[in-house]
Structure 1
Amino acid sequence: MKLRPLLITASRWKQIQQPLYPWVVTVDRIMRHERLGNMPGPLVHLFSDYGGAHKESLYETTAVLYMDVDNSMPWQVERLRVRQHFLPDGRRMSFKGLNDVKKQQALIPFLQASDSIPGVLLVAAVHKSIKNLCWSKDVRPDWPSDRAMRHKWSPRTFERALHVSHLAGLMVGGLSNPGQEVFWFSDEDELFANPTASNDVGNLFTMFTSVYANHPFKQIGLGTTAIDEGDRYEEDHVALADLAAGSAADMLTELAKYAGHIPTKVAIEFPGEFSRKTEIITSWLGYSGGNLKKVMVVLEPQGKTGFSVMRLNW
């Protein structure tokens, strides 16, 4: 595992002009130095999921997949082929479910096929000692009065709602083009527990997108895997985010336990072993040769109250 220096490269990421949080400045700089391709298709889909919720994990991770739908046909064909061959009964891929033999057999072909996706997979890992990344005391007094939430959110859950909707809006701001249709899909969880909660999250996504994107859209929408029509389209794409988030949380936890923390300036050699599924998925995350570009950003505590933001490479 090593930290890659930021080099000037050709990228389609548009610089964020009004970062809403200080740490966004560094994330924006990281994304501007990634070799990201143009995604000009008229329809954009985003998919998100989370990892690290169990108490043994030192990190909470959020993964957001951004893709150009109209130019993803090779992936869609191969995705269905993998399903027909390994998962003809419609089983859902997931990090927690990889004790299933059929899913284990499908994992590598599924991940390899996904590398043809014209898109970006962003994984944001936040050390659990970092509290209120988005809903801090500095932010609350300036929260717009017309953005009052209707759902009764717990502080922890509202922080997560802000975090994931902000990441989705940030990616739309950095990658989208004028006139596109943009739809964000998530797994069914506590952020989408009922119509009121879903409406709040949708409003947050629209708010963040309007701040970060300086152009109009044909349409912006939000949905969950509940709308899957049986071909596992939504579920397979959310599964890619789930696999990335789960394996990243496991990998970072093991590295931090070994080194004491994730180093911000030096590379380390890890002599231990990851679980088989984490080894496979993180190897896929580290592969940079496909159309799907993968970026992992880690927020690591530094000093008594601060934290660092870095791009992890391995």
Structure 2
Amino acid sequence: MLVPVTDGAMIVASDYSGQHKEASHEAYSFLVTTDQALDAWLPSLRAFRQRWLPDSRRISFKKLNEPVRWRALPAFLETVGNLSGNLITILIDRRVGSFMAGGPDATVDAFPDCFSAHANRGTVEKMFRLASFVALILSGLRREDQVSNWISDHDEALDTHDKREQFARLATYLTFGLTGWRKPADHWFGTTESPMAPYWSEDVAAVPDLVAGAYCQMSGFLPAFLGMKTWQVRMAPSSVEDRRAHAIGDWLANGRATLRHVLLRLEQDGNGEVRSSAQAFMGST
């Protein structure tokens, strides 16, 4: 289902949605590619920029209702569809509890050098979830001797130097726990607001931003879990009222084989148990 990303350095860009209190779900989205694939794709990104957004304004889900960005969206999605890589999104019901038994306090106790003692407990949980997902992606898609670079949206989990240092330790511990790597190649990371971020970082990070926002809008209409077997569910086009989510859902459904996508969903069942499913769009929404 996913394409290999082991030639050259791994590039990961991520963004998140559903962090406000009114949201029913949170989404953590990651675009995983390589420097070789990115180098081959960047000329098409520059061509898109010159034609559609020469003023350097950023594509983002929240700003898609602005006319210039909305007109540019189809061309941007078509351009992105030519990038070889994987788009991995985790959609989590807000009713799902902490990823650590005992909650954020237990997380701080278990990893005392990864959190400040009085850190906001919501931020602790987000850092732990984010580090868990990064570790899963690295352990599943990266070689031990493969350099990787991760560019994240700049938010409260990574908004200070101390948090980034603490997060790096946490992600290292979790990655080692999953892989047992003794001599891993370097894993570099920063945020889109770093002065050292490459010029393309905002556009590449816009892809998981768009997808995370769309999945949160569609969370009430997507299937949660349907047993242990493979299944298909038809999604009525009229069920998605948000035109931004509808456009992005259609793009995912009709996407080329170059950029693969998968949605991992964590949802509570009627008994309060957390259930998981893996999903992908096929055909127009």
Common fold by TM > 0.5? yes
Corresponding letter in the other structure for 2:186: Q
Corresponding letter in the other structure for 2:59: M
With over 3 angstroms needed to count, the CA separation of the structure-2 counterparts of 1:146 and 1:80, relative to structure 1, is same
TM-score of the aligned structures, taking structure 2 as reference length: 0.86
Structure 1: how far apart are the matches of 2:121 and 2:201? 29
Query: Of the candidates 264, 283, 300, which is equivalent to residue 226 of structure 2?
Result: 264
Q: Unaligned stretches of 5+ in structure 2? A: none
Corresponding letter in the other structure for 1:242: D
Structure 1: how far apart are the matches of 2:180 and 2:225? 36
User: Does residue 120 in structure 1 map to residue 86 in structure 2?
Assistant: yes
Per the alignment, residue 71 of structure 1 pairs with: 37
Secondary structure, in 3 states, of the residue corresponding to 1:70? helix
Deviation at 1:112, TM superposition (A): 1.4
CA deviations on 1:26-61 (whole Å, 9 max, x unpaired) are: xxxxxxxxx222223231111111112234431111
Structure 1: how far apart are the matches of 2:12 and 2:107? 31
C-alpha contact 1:173 1:214 (8 A) present in aligned 2: no
Deviation at 1:114, TM superposition (A): 1.4
C-alpha contact 1:47 1:64 (8 A) present in aligned 2: yes
User: Does residue 53 in structure 1 map to residue 19 in structure 2?
Assistant: yes
Cα-Cα RMSD: 2.5
- Which aligned pairs between 1:206-225 and structure 2 lie closer than 5 A? 206-215=172-181, 216-225=183-192
Corresponding letter in the other structure for 2:30: V
- Which aligned pairs between 1:104-183 and structure 2 lie closer than 5 A? 104-132=70-98, 134-137=99-102, 140=106, 144=110, 147-150=113-116, 152-183=118-149
C-alpha contact 1:60 1:126 (8 A) present in aligned 2: yes
C-alpha contact 1:42 1:179 (8 A) present in aligned 2: no
CA deviations on 1:211-245 (whole Å, 9 max, x unpaired) are: 23354333111100113569741111111111010
Structure 1: how far apart are the matches of 2:101 and 2:250? 35
With over 3 angstroms needed to count, the CA separation of the structure-2 counterparts of 1:269 and 1:101, relative to structure 1, is closer
TM-score of the aligned structures, taking structure 1 as reference length: 0.79
Secondary structure, in 3 states, of the residue corresponding to 2:157? helix
Aligned identity (percent) is 23
Query: Of the candidates 275, 279, 285, which is equivalent to residue 312 of structure 1?
Result: 279
Corresponding letter in the other structure for 2:87: L
With over 3 angstroms needed to count, the CA separation of the structure-2 counterparts of 1:293 and 1:143, relative to structure 1, is farther
Deviation at 1:173, TM superposition (A): 0.5
Of 139-148 and 150-159, more deviation after overlay is shown by 139-148
Corresponding letter in the other structure for 1:45: I
CA deviations on 1:66-109 (whole Å, 9 max, x unpaired) are: 11111223321111111111111110111001122221122111
Structure 1: how far apart are the matches of 2:155 and 2:100? 20
Per the alignment, residue 2 of structure 2 pairs with: 36
C-alpha contact 1:48 1:187 (8 A) present in aligned 2: yes
Q: Unaligned stretches of 5+ in structure 1? A: 1-34
Aligned length: 274
